[in-house]
């Protein structure tokens, strides 16, 4: 029996009868074909002519008419039984109308040995084969399940020694590797034919027998007698073993309800039977249709229990039991139709091979022991007797770790290979070191990239501001001409709006608005013309501040350059870019300051003119209280209209210029802020660079000192320390961390703009005009 696809084998067995209707049932001499000739509708038999007669042909594996029980077994079942002994699942199933001979075929007569059916013959064959096949150790178990009105019944539960049935009843279960099984169904080991037959007869006694119109002893239930076979090779000490199930199924009658005249309990039984058989038919149809991937097995207990006994890897045989009489022709036809559907089901018989894990482990353990023995023998021969092949102890692993660290430091020239386990442990240590190194480099890269990002952003932003300021400087050239038209007077407003928007955007990007900038913008946007003090002053020295110069770090033996020298180098080297930006920003700041000074003077000049004109008008008013006599009339002298007009124009001019001044003032503050930021960055980067380049941190010095004294303590330190490369990177990170800490603690609480404002020179105050 090869694991190749094959059809379900179908046999037709005709119950012997004296009134066999040869007109309706025609068995062809090939022994494989049954032709059924029948009237489509029997009620029309007398009304219509013979042209209504219809014929159907059924070709099966064999038509069993007047054949002995022995021949039936040999042709139907023997192949399946032998397959089961080889590890293939097998199912032999009888289907047909009540009384058609299903039970006779399956169980046969319990009184006549000659007329015994398939089950006792199969049991005999199985147990005889078990005796014969001495190279295998077989275990055979039997179970007998009845499905009555959708209830599972254990027909062997009455036997002594059978475990009490589970209170939850029996359940059809499925498990991976085990397939379908009935939880709670008792399995009985058998060692002889007699033992097996005892069980069969016990089960038969327990079958529920109901009286029936057609057959007083007809079974009203489906019965599944299963032989469970397991075999292990006695010759090969193999963990593999094979199992199989031989299902011998006696289905309940497939008759129609109306025909049997069933009532009450009988009717109920018939409903269940028909239901389960129609679901069986559906499952068969689905199995026969290769495009279907879902088979409705779970709809009834019968189909669920037979799930892996119909198609799949099973050798399946169906016996369709039919009557030979004309009266049963409709049922016969329906049975044969079912049989022809069953014939379309393909199965792929395959041996159920399993591996016993416990035996497998034992086998492997034995193999390992053997190999170890061989290896130790080999080591003795090549004089390598100290080697063991057990897993490394903690102490050995620690030793390997220390060796790897020393190797990486350079204090160990090479690591001697002693065993495969040791080589693996060495690699593991290297991997660990690389991972730790990676972590540190990643952290460094993150830090650096955030600095670079900030620097890029700063550069881009500075360039924007410079462009903006330059644009405004050009505009400011026209502001200088105060007599310009209102177009010019309006222009700065729009520029200011744009600049402010830009600054707001910038503030948003930075997360918070600079307090200094906010303060300046706010003060500049006050609507009243308050006296304004504009920051002006010299830029602070570009040299590091005294605080940073005074801070002395312990120098390594080769004395580093002084900070002043180093700063000069830094400005042209690594810090050149930020230094350049700082210079450019300072230049712009100076330009803006000078413009601001000029504008302040102009505004104040206008203010003085306003004051002057106002005073003249006041004088006119004072004099206006006196009445001058012109001739006979007394004329009150009005203040000079031209003076008033002039005063209005001056005030308007003042406001225009003041607005421009306010913008420039805001720009100066903003520029100052940028210059300060640049300076702080230049200094902090310089500090960072200086420490990184020239200073050895205190902790590292301590460690170096300690290292020379106590070698043991090396092992307690992080494993990366002894690496020649990583000690320098560790210093780098220590230094950077400390610098960052120092820098944050050194940062002035107020912004540089504020600091400069207080320190810088002031512009002359702008006088207030109401």
Q: Return residues touching ligand ADP (CB under 6 A).
A: 15-16, 96, 98-104, 215, 218-219, 253, 321
Residue 672 binds which entry of Mg ion, ligand ADP, none, with Cβ cut-offs from 5 to 8 Å by kind? none
328 vs 499, which CB is nearer to ligand ADP? 328
Q: How many residues of this chain interact with Mg ion, rule: CB under 5 A? A: 3
> Could you tell me which residues come within 8 angstroms of residue 540 by beta carbon, excluding any fewer than 6 positions away?
679, 756
102 vs 571, which CB is nearer to Mg ion? 102
List Cα–Cα distances, 729 to 61, 93, 443, in angstroms.
Answer: 85, 81, 11
Stretch of residues binding Mg ion (CB under 5 A), selected from 218-226, 257-265, 342-350, 756-764: 218-226
**And the tokens for 63?**
């038509």
Q: Shortest approach of Mg ion to residue 354 CB, angstroms?
A: 35
222 vs 665, which CB is nearer to Mg ion? 222
Task: Tell me which residue of 697, 733, 684 sits closest to 548, measured CA to CA.
Answer: 684
Q: Shortest approach of ligand ADP to residue 126 CB, angstroms?
A: 23
104 vs 570, which CB is nearer to ligand ADP? 104
Residue closest to Mg ion (Cβ): 103
Are residues 8 and 349 in contact, defined by beta-carbon separation less than 8 angstroms? no
What single DSSP character describes residue 723?
S
Within 723-752, the residues that bind Mg ion by CB under 5 A are none
Q: Shortest approach of ligand ADP to residue 346 CB, angstroms?
A: 27
> Could you tell me which residues come within 8 angstroms of residue 150 by beta carbon, excluding any fewer than 6 positions away?
272, 276, 300, 301
Stretch of residues binding Mg ion (CB under 5 A), selected from 14-22, 202-210, 212-220, 638-646: 212-220
Q: How many CB atoms lie within 10 A of CB 495?
A: 18
103 vs 731, which CB is nearer to Mg ion? 103
Q: Shortest approach of ligand ADP to residue 214 CB, angstroms?
A: 8
Residue 686 binds which entry of Mg ion, ligand ADP, none, with Cβ cut-offs from 5 to 8 Å by kind? none
Residue 99 binds which entry of ligand ADP, Mg ion, none, with Cβ cut-offs from 5 to 8 Å by kind? ligand ADP
Q: Shortest approach of ligand ADP to residue 201 CB, angstroms?
A: 16
Ordered alpha helix ranges (H), 625-751: 641-694, 698-709, 724-746
Are residues 680 and 752 in contact, defined by beta-carbon separation less than 8 angstroms? yes
Task: Give the C-alpha separation, 368 to 361, whole Å.
Answer: 10
Main-chain dihedrals φ then ψ at residue 222, nearest 5 degrees: -90, 140
**And the tokens for 486?**
């209102």
Pairing assessment for the beta strands 151-154 and 136-148 based on DSSP bridges: antiparallel
Residue closest to ligand ADP (Cβ): 101
102 vs 571, which CB is nearer to ligand ADP? 102
Within 98-137, the residues that bind Mg ion by CB under 5 A are 102-103
Q: Shortest approach of ligand ADP to residue 8 CB, angstroms?
A: 20
Within 66-105, the residues that bind Mg ion by CB under 5 A are 102-103
Which residue is it, tokens 């500075």? 462
Residue 684 binds which entry of Mg ion, ligand ADP, none, with Cβ cut-offs from 5 to 8 Å by kind? none
15 vs 472, which CB is nearer to ligand ADP? 15
Main-chain dihedrals φ then ψ at residue 20, nearest 5 degrees: -70, 125
Q: Shortest approach of ligand ADP to residue 32 CB, angstroms?
A: 19
Q: Shortest approach of ligand ADP to residue 356 CB, angstroms?
A: 41
Residue 321 binds which entry of ligand ADP, Mg ion, none, with Cβ cut-offs from 5 to 8 Å by kind? ligand ADP
Q: Shortest approach of ligand ADP to residue 149 CB, angstroms?
A: 17
Are residues 244 and 353 in contact, defined by beta-carbon separation less than 8 angstroms? no
Ordered alpha helix ranges (H), 289-356: 301-305, 307-310, 329-343
Triad 39, 41, 42: Cα angle to 5°:
75
321 vs 499, which CB is nearer to ligand ADP? 321
108 vs 312, which CB is nearer to ligand ADP? 108
> Could you tell me which residues come within 8 angstroms of residue 537 by beta carbon, excluding any fewer than 6 positions away?
756, 759, 760, 761
Q: Shortest approach of ligand ADP to residue 278 CB, angstroms?
A: 18
265 vs 380, which CB is nearer to ligand ADP? 265
Q: Shortest approach of ligand ADP to residue 100 CB, angstroms?
A: 4
65 vs 396, which CB is nearer to ligand ADP? 65
User: Cα torsion for 580, 584, 589, 591, to the nearest 10°?
Assistant: 150
Among 9, 105, 219, 756, indicate the residue that binds Mg ion (CB under 5 A).
219
Q: Which helix (H) or strand (E) holds 271?
A: helix 264-288
Task: Give the C-alpha separation, 757 to 669, whole Å.
Answer: 9
Distance of CA 621 to the CA centre of its chain: 91
Are residues 71 and 315 in contact, defined by beta-carbon separation less than 8 angstroms? no
* Contacts with Mg ion, residue ranges (CB under 5 A): 102-103, 219
């Amino acid at each position: 029996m090869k694991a190749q696809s094959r059809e379900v084998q179908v046999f037709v067995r005709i119950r012997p009868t004296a009134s066999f209707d040869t007109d309706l049932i025609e068995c062809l001499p090939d022994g494989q074909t049954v032709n059924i000739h029948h009237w489509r509708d029997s009620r029309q038999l007398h009304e219509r002519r013979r042209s209504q007669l219809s014929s159907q042909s059924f070709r099966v594996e064999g038509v069993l008419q007047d054949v002995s029980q022995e021949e039936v077994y040999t042709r139907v079942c023997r192949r399946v039984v032998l397959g089961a002994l080889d590890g293939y699942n097998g199912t032999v199933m009888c289907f047909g109308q009540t009384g058609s001979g299903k039970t006779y075929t399956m169980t046969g007569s319990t009184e006549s040995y000659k007329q015994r059916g398939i089950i006792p013959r199969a049991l005999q064959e199985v147990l005889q084969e078990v005796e014969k096949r001495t190279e295998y150790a077989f275990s055979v178990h039997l179970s007998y399940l009845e499905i009555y009105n959708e209830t599972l019944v254990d027909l062997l539960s009455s036997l002594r020694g059978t475990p009490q049935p589970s209170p939850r009843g029996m359940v059809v279960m499925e498990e991976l590797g085990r397939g379908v099984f009935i939880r709670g169904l008792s399995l009985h080991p058998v060692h002889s034919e007699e033992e097996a037959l005892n069980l069969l007869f016990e089960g038969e006694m327990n079958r529920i027998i109901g009286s029936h119109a057609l057959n007083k002893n007809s079974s009203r239930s489906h019965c599944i007698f299963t032989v469970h076979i397991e075999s292990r090779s006695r010759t090969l000490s193999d963990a593999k073993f094979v199992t199989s199930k031989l299902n011998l199924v006696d289905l309940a009658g497939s008759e129609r309800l109306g025909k049997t005249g069933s009532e009450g309990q009988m009717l109920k039984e018939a409903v269940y039977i028909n239901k389960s058989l129609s679901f069986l038919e559906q499952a068969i149809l689905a199995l026969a249709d290769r495009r279907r991937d879902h088979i409705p097995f779970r709809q009834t207990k019968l189909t669920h229990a037979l799930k892996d006994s119909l198609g799949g890897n099973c050798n399946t045989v169906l016996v369709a039991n039919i009557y030979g009489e004309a009266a049963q022709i409709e049922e016969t036809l329906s049975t044969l139709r079912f049989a022809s559907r069953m014939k379309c089901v393909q199965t792929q018989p395959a041996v159920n091979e399993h591996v016993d894990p416990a035996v497998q482990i034992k086998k492997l353990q034995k193999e390992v022991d053997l190999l170890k023995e061989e290896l130790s023998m080999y080591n003795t021969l090549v004089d390598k007797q100290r080697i063991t092949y057990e897993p490394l102890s903690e102490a050995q692993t620690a030793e390997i770790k220390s060796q790897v660290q020393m190797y990486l430091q350079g204090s160990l020239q090479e690591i001697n290979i002693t065993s495969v386990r040791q080589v693996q442990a060495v690699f593991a240590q290297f991997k660990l070191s690389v991972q730790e190194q990676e972590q540190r480099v990643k952290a460094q890269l993150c830090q650096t990239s955030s600095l670079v990002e900030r620097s890029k952003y700063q550069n881009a932003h500075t360039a924007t501001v410079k462009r903006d300021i330059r644009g405004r400087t050009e505009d400011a050239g026209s502001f200088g001409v105060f007599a310009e038209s209102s177009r010019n007077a309006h222009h700065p407003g729009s520029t200011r709006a744009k600049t402010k928007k830009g600054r707001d955007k910038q503030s948003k990007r930075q997360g918070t608005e600079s307090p200094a900038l906010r303060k300046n913008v706010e003060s500049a946007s006050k609507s009243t013309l308050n006296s304004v003090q504009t920051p002006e002053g010299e830029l602070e020295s570009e040299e590091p501040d005294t605080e940073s110069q005074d801070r002395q770090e312990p120098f390594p033996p080769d004395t580093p350059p002084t900070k002043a020298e180093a700063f000069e180098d830094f400005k042209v080297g690594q810090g050149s870019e930020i230094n350049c930006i700082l210079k450019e920003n300072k230049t712009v700041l100076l330009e803006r300051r000078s413009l601001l000074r000029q504008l302040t003077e102009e505004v104040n000049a206008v203010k003085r003119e306003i004051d002057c004109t106002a005073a003249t008008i006041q004088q006119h008013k004072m004099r206006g209280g006196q009445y001058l006599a012109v001739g006979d009339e007394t004329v009150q002298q009005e203040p000079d209209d031209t003076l008033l007009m002039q005063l209005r124009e001056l005030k308007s001019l003042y406001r225009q210029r003041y607005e421009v001044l306010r913008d420039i003032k805001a720009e100066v503050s903003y520029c100052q802020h940028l210059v300060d930021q640049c300076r702080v960055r230049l200094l902090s980067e310089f500090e960072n660079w200086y420490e990184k380049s020239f200073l050895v941190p205190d902790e590292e010095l301590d460690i170096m000192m300690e290292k020379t004294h106590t070698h043991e303590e090396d092992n307690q330190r992080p494993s990366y320390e002894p690496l020649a490369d990583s000690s320098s990177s560790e210093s780098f990170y220590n230094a950077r961390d400390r610098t960052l800490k120092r820098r944050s603690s050194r940062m002035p609480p107020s912004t540089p703009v504020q600091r400069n404002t207080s320190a810088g020179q002031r512009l002359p105050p702008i006088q207030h005009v109401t």
